[in-house]
Structure 1
Amino acid sequence: MIEGVKIKKLQKYTDDRGYFMEVLRDDDDLLERFGQLSASLSYPQVIKAFHYHKKQDDLWFFPTGNVQVVLHDLREDSSTYKCTDVYYMGENNPISLLIPRMVAHGYRVLGNQPAIIMYITTYSYNPLEPDEYRIPYNDPGIGFDWTTKFK
C-alpha cells in the first residue's frame, strides 16, 4: 500500500426502508482538516486520470456504481516513491480512501452504470490558484494499462 494512504471499511445499517452509512466522522483520524465536499457523476468506461495536489489531501467515496482507482506515488521522500496501487471501490466494495498530497490519482468507471464520486478535500478549490496538476492517463512514466483483461 502506498505510504500515507488510508482505507476505512464502511458499515451499512439496513432495515426495510433502505440503509444508512457513516462515510466520515471527525474521530476517524483520516483528515487533518476539512475544506470542501464535492460530488461528480461519470458515465460507464470514462477514465478520469491523472491529477495530483501539492497542498491538499482527498478522501474519496463512491456511493453508486463501481470503479477502478489508480494511485501513483510522486513523493520523492516516500518509501513507496513511484509505486502504483489499484483499488476497486463502489457499491460492491464501500470504502473511503484517503489520498495524500503528491499522490497522483484517477479512476475508470466499470460496468454499464454511471458512478458517483463524493470527495472531501482538506482545502476548498481556489480558481485563482488551483492546486491541481495534470498528468495524461496514459503517461509512460506511470505506465498503467487501463484495459480490462479477460482470461
Structure 2
Amino acid sequence: MRFTPTTLAGAVLIEPELREDARGHFARTFCEAEFAAAGLERRFPQQNHSYNHVAGTLRGMHFQHAPDTEVKVVRCTRGAIRDVIIDLRRDSSSYLQWEAFELTEENGRQLYVPKGFAHGYVTLTDQSAVSYLVSTPYAPAAEGGVRWNDPAFGIDWKMEVMQISEKDASWPDYRPHEWGLA
C-alpha cells in the first residue's frame, strides 16, 4: 500500500499496490504492520457497508462526538463516489477545510479519515457500494453531523443531489461552541 498525506492534517489517501497476473490482480487493503508504520490507527472493531441505488445519492456529513470519536477507512467496492471530509478539530492547521476524493471500484483507493472529521459522500454511479472500517463501535448518543450544504464549508459536490435521507438533509449548521470534537 502507498500512503499519501492529503492537504488536511492527518487524512491519508491509501492506494493499493496491485500484483497482477493472468488471473487478474491481488492487493492488500489492510495490514496492521503497514498502518502502524505509517502512524495510523490499526484497531477496527466494526466494518460497515452501504449500497446505493442511484447516482446522486448523498450520505453525510457524519461524525461522532467525544469520547466516541472515530477513525474511518473508506473504500468504494462497486461503482464510484465523491468522498468528502471536513476537519472539525479546532486545534488543527486545517480546521474547517474540506477536501474531496474520487474513490472507485477501478482505482481501489481508500481514504483514511481521522478522528474529529465529518465524512460523507455522493454516488457518481448507479448501484454503488461502499465499505468502511471504523475504529469505534457506533454509539447512537454520540452521533452528530453537519448539513451537506452548510455555507460554513461551501462544499462543491460536482453534481446534483438526487437522494438524501431526511436526517442528513436536516443536520444543523456548524456550531463549534456546542460540539466537543477531538
Alpha-carbon separation, structure 2, partners of 1:61 and 1:122: 15
Task: Return the offset for 1:33.
Answer: 2.0
TM-score, normalising length from structure 1? 0.86
User: 1:45-70 CA distances to partner (integer Å, 9 max, x unpaired)?
Assistant: 10112111232111111121111011
Alignment of 1:49-88 (within 5 A): 49-54=60-65, 55-88=69-102
**2:128 maps to amino acid:** A
Runs of 4+ in 1 over 2 A off after TM superposition: 11-21, 145-149
Q: Flag structure 1 segments of 5+ consecutive residues without an equivalent.
A: none
Alpha-carbon separation, structure 1, partners of 2:156 and 2:139: 32
Q: Flag structure 2 segments of 5+ consecutive residues without an equivalent.
A: 1-6, 161-182
Higher RCO (Cα < 8 Å, 6 or more apart): 1
3-state secondary structure, aligned to 1:123? coil
Match of 1:26 in 2: 32
3-state secondary structure, aligned to 1:28? helix
More helix as a share of residues:
2
RMSD across aligned positions (CA):
1.9
Identity %: 27
Task: Return the offset for 1:122.
Answer: 0.7
Number of residue pairs aligned between Structure 1 and Structure 2: 146
3-state secondary structure, aligned to 1:49? strand
Task: Return the offset for 1:16.
Answer: 4.2
Return the match for 2:123 from 109, 119, 133. 109
Alpha-carbon separation, structure 1, partners of 2:14 and 2:131: 15
Alignment of 1:1-151 (within 5 A): 1-29=7-35, 30-43=40-53, 44-54=55-65, 55-111=69-125, 113-127=126-140, 129=141, 131-148=142-159
